[in-house]
Amino acid sequence: MQKFSILSLARNAISHHRNWEKSWRSPDLKDSYEVVIVGGGGHGLATAYYLAKEHGMTNVAVLEAGWIGGGNTGRNTSVIRSNYLFPESADFYDFALKLYEDLGQEINYNIMLRQAGMITLMHDRHQIEGMRRNLNAMHSNGIAADWLSAEDIKKRIPEINMHGHYPILGGICQERGGIARHDAIAWGYARAADAYGIDIIQNCEVTGFDIENGAVTGVQTSRGHIKTGKVGVAVAGHSSVIAEKAGFSLPVTSYCLQAWVSEPLKPIFSETLMSPSYGSYISQSDKGEMILGGSLDLYPSYAQRGNIGTIEHVMSSFVELFPQLSRVKMMRSWGGIVDVVRDSTPIIGKTPVEGMYINCGFGTGGFKATPAGGWTLAHTIATGEPHKLNEAFSLERFKTGRMIDEAGAAGIAH
């Protein structure tokens, strides 16, 4: 794998950048693999990478129905954080955050990580009391976070409107939270996995599975048949579709989650802002674009587009918080298909089909969990047993009732 550096940049500049190596190969599909990963997004690619790096398993294929990063990985608001309530969630998401902090160096790819702080705003007395509980829970879980007064927020972000429809009374801030470049995560993991010899197969739709005596023995695809004894599924909003092809059901409902990007502006603030009352969150990218997100659409859908009602709600919230930006133009929008489960906690582990493992149920929290999702799924596939970080995230909890209710952990239910 060609190393990215100042020297390689200068050397390729001489040839007008015509001699860069391709980031990953486009190999032909083999007849068999030790492991097949269904889904070429961040979680699937991270799983393949950690299978090779941590477990020495390189006879692996990643199958993507479209193109690498064309699903939720490239259709989110790039937020990373670990401000969750329960110990199981806090440990998992903070592990993901720690992996993010070293990921750029590890895979030799600039993921444009910016840890400028994640601020959750408070707008009424009820939220103040709720945020006290959240802050205490974070501290109990070993997650550093700070209480901010209204004056603290105004000092950090002078441009914010403190006296809108929902006055800002304070907030809590996780300083290690922030944003990373979503496309770079997919591309970086794909490049690193390919360097281990893992085959990344794009435009390869999974159409079915071969199952004998309750165990998976093969994968049927639009590009041919594959023999394998282990399958990992990481397809987010399409998890229930893939599960149906394997003959079992999941407690997953799929919704569209929209996001928008404005024209570039001069730097206004560096933090990521979340408002539970306005139902929106805002950050500014390194290119100056305002990145806006909101709540889920109110009906199940597999469409990667949204509706006017949600657009109107998020834009009015944005203008309330920053009225001086009311005439800023939106450049583009997109929608991701998120996989929502009853307790807003992921499912990572075994399925009813022997040899088949799944990573799903992240709802709106999939991007921030990418490294940990890949790490734990890789461990579960390689060893046949869950990692301590995902043993509480099994499908069995929907039978036993041992839910981990994180719906209100960060102010916006998902």
Q: What is the full per-residue pLDDT of the chain (414 aa) written as tens digits?
A: 888 999 999 989 998 998 898 999 999 999 999 999 999 999 999 999 999 999 999 999 999 999 999 999 999 999 999 999 999 999 999 999 999 999 999 999 999 999 999 999 999 999 999 999 999 999 999 999 999 999 999 999 999 999 999 999 999 999 999 999 999 999 999 999 999 999 999 999 999 999 999 999 999 999 999 999 999 999 999 999 999 999 999 999 999 999 999 999 999 999 999 999 999 999 999 999 999 999 888 899 998 887 888 999 999 999 999 999 999 999 999 999 999 999 999 999 999 999 999 999 999 999 999 999 999 999 999 999 999 999 999 999 999 999 998 876 644 443
DSSP secondary structure, 75-112, as one string: SS--EE----SSHHHHHHHHHHHHHHHHHHHHHT----
Q: Which two tokens stand for residue 44?
A: 């699937």
Domain 113-178+253-340 annotated CATH 3.30.70.580: no
Query: How far is the C-alpha of 20 from the C-alpha of 402, rounded, in Å?
Result: 51
Nearest CA among 48, 348, 38, 336 for reference residue 188 = 48
pLDDT in tens, 43-82: 999 999 999 999 999 999 999 999 999 999 999 999 999 9
Say what the pLDDT of residue 218 is: 98
pTM for the whole thing? 0.96
Cα 273 to chain centroid distance, Å, stands at 18
Say what the pLDDT of residue 305 is: 81
**Residue extents of the structural domains in the chain:** 113-178+253-340
DSSP secondary structure, 262-294, as one string: E---S----SEEEETTTTEEEEE-TTSPEEEEE
